[in-house]
Amino acid sequence: MLDPSQSKAATSTPRIKPLLYLIYLQAISLAVTYVAGIWVAITVHNISFNLPEVLEHGLASSVFVLLTGLVGFIAALQGEKKVSMYNFVLFLITVLTGSTGFALLGNPGDATQIAITNLSMMASVAIGMPVTGFSLAKVSRISRGTAWELSPAAIMTYIALGALSLTIIAGAAASSTPLYAFAVVTHVGFAALTVALVLGVLVVSILEGAGSSTSNWEPQRVAYSLLGLASVSVAGGDGVIYLTSGNLAYLVVMAEVTVLVYAFLMIAIGVPYRLDTLARRRR
């Protein structure tokens, strides 16, 4: 007999699939918004709403807001209260931070406005990362019809996403002169914590397999966390080179590689490509 969560999963699977695809699209739009935003912040000096870079960022962020609202509402219809609530809060935060972008477009030379916009938008991106991670983990479990239980690797992946978010916020604060020293130290600290946690995800994923007492072991998670570790190491290396050389190109690369870390951690949570499916069928 199925337990309540499995029974719920079994009945709601056909309707939950579109929600799962929407969460993947939401994560992709978040990544694109972040990359386009970093590109605007670093390369555009006289910001104006009709510049192609600003329009691209605006378009990507609009898609992200739209998908966040959609995921929140569809999750509410499916009875997924936590997923719905977190996405609703993220939706409100993103709309409010979007309005700081409008304020920046009106006062492009104001240093305070630049700092407020940078920090609030980065905070929105940073909150979006763990929220999309949680939504994906919860919904992909229901979609597969497996019980909702948190493995040590999954918990560590959430914490790694949280640490990555804080690293991004601290990095954004470094663009403000009064906060520079504190922000750089905090950014480096959180970046080191992120590296340690991604390494932890890798180790715990391997250990879960070695124990093999759990039927929910995901061997792909080892590969994804290894790729995440490689990405976070490259991002860290880029940061060090930027600090010593001052070349902005390294800063852009660091931000863009950070998106890869987010992507690999998200895939490690969702594990969409189940390579062991055939083996399970044979069993």
Which chain residues interact with other proteins by CB under 8 A?
15, 18, 49-50, 62, 65-66, 69-70, 73-74, 76-77, 91, 95, 98-99, 102-107
Q: Taking the complex as a whole, how short is the minimal distance between the CB of residue 46 and other proteins, in angstroms?
A: 14
Q: Taking the complex as a whole, how short is the minimal distance between the CB of residue 15 and other proteins, in angstroms?
A: 7
Residue with Cβ nearer other proteins (97 or 225): 97
Q: Taking the complex as a whole, how short is the minimal distance between the CB of residue 104 and other proteins, in angstroms?
A: 8
Are 251 and 35 a contacting pair, CB within 8 Å? Answer: no
Residue with Cβ nearer other proteins (30 or 104): 104
Residue with Cβ nearer other proteins (84 or 225): 84
Q: Taking the complex as a whole, how short is the minimal distance between the CB of residue 53 and other proteins, in angstroms?
A: 17
DSSP 178: G
Residue with Cβ nearer other proteins (73 or 242): 73
Q: Taking the complex as a whole, how short is the minimal distance between the CB of residue 142 and other proteins, in angstroms?
A: 16
Residue with Cβ nearer other proteins (105 or 184): 105
Closest CA to 169 of 177, 179, 159: 179
